[in-house]
Structure 1
């Protein structure tokens, strides 16, 4: 069967099974890397509850502290706002909250990208 045949363009049939074995090995490596990446991302997501970000509004009179799993941990309002009307305080809280949520999302994306790049860089070049 390893004999070259003119109808197949002079190609040996034995190389086809070798290529299939190589492809299967590559697929197994890719699946293994995918599982490792998935596990690392899950661990990272679990650690987000311990990572804190903070944001301020109104020159620091309102400060919001949140975890990267998007939980507000603390709201600190300066006594300087004691005389301000409710709507002003509310606007400052909203601004600081939006900023802290954006920071948490950005940090999560950065960490996820680091993990993805780590594993995607390991993939072999398939020559496509």
Structure 2
């Protein structure tokens, strides 16, 4: 048995390995949490591929639908635009497409933040 030294507050110099075991448990829990978060993010990415976002321009005469993985799924142009100049129609398509993409990006950012906060929200990582 190790001799206690008063200068160390009466603590034994004998190493019990308790802190090392605690650290190992913490590392294992962190790894498990990371794996769960990665799986949930992967599932979310799969869901994004089928989620749709739409936007209109020109008072609804142009509608663009994009998926959450930022692919244009459909563009609908009203027959009211049959006599309209090509440049105007093109600008409406661009505006609706950009808005739909922005909606999809914002949704992805918000949901990804929710998932991340679910797993590491309360952790102080010293950053």
Give the TM-score taking structure 1 as reference length: 0.86
Q: CA deviation at 1:122?
A: 6.5
Q: CA deviation at 1:113?
A: 1.1
What residue in structure 1 maps to residue 101 of structure 2?
101
Q: Against the structure 1 CA distance between its residues 105 and 45, is the aligned structure 2 distance closer, same or farther, given a 3 Å change threshold?
A: same
Q: CA deviation at 1:17?
A: 1.9
CA distance in 1, matches of 2:117, 2:15: 33
Q: Against the structure 1 CA distance between its residues 52 and 3, is the aligned structure 2 distance closer, same or farther, given a 3 Å change threshold?
A: farther
Q: Which SS does the other structure have where 1:83 is aligned?
A: coil
Q: State whether structure 2 residue 50 is matched by structure 1 residue 50.
A: yes
Q: CA deviation at 1:2?
A: 5.0
Q: State whether structure 2 residue 74 is matched by structure 1 residue 74.
A: yes
Q: CA deviation at 1:16?
A: 6.2
Structure 2: runs of 5+ lacking an equivalent: none
What residue in structure 2 maps to residue 60 of structure 1?
60
What residue in structure 2 maps to residue 36 of structure 1?
36
Give the TM-score taking structure 2 as reference length: 0.87
Q: Which SS does the other structure have where 2:4 is aligned?
A: coil
Q: CA deviation at 1:83?
A: 1.3
CA distance in 2, matches of 1:75, 1:22: 57
- Aligned-residue Cα RMSD (Å) equals 2.3
CA distance in 2, matches of 1:118, 1:62: 38
Q: CA deviation at 1:3?
A: 4.0
Q: Which SS does the other structure have where 2:60 is aligned?
A: coil
Q: State whether structure 2 residue 84 is matched by structure 1 residue 84.
A: yes
Q: Which SS does the other structure have where 1:64 is aligned?
A: strand
Deviation digits for residues 56-94 of structure 1 (CA, Å, limit 9, x no counterpart): 111111100111011111101111111110000000000
Structure 1: runs of 5+ lacking an equivalent: none
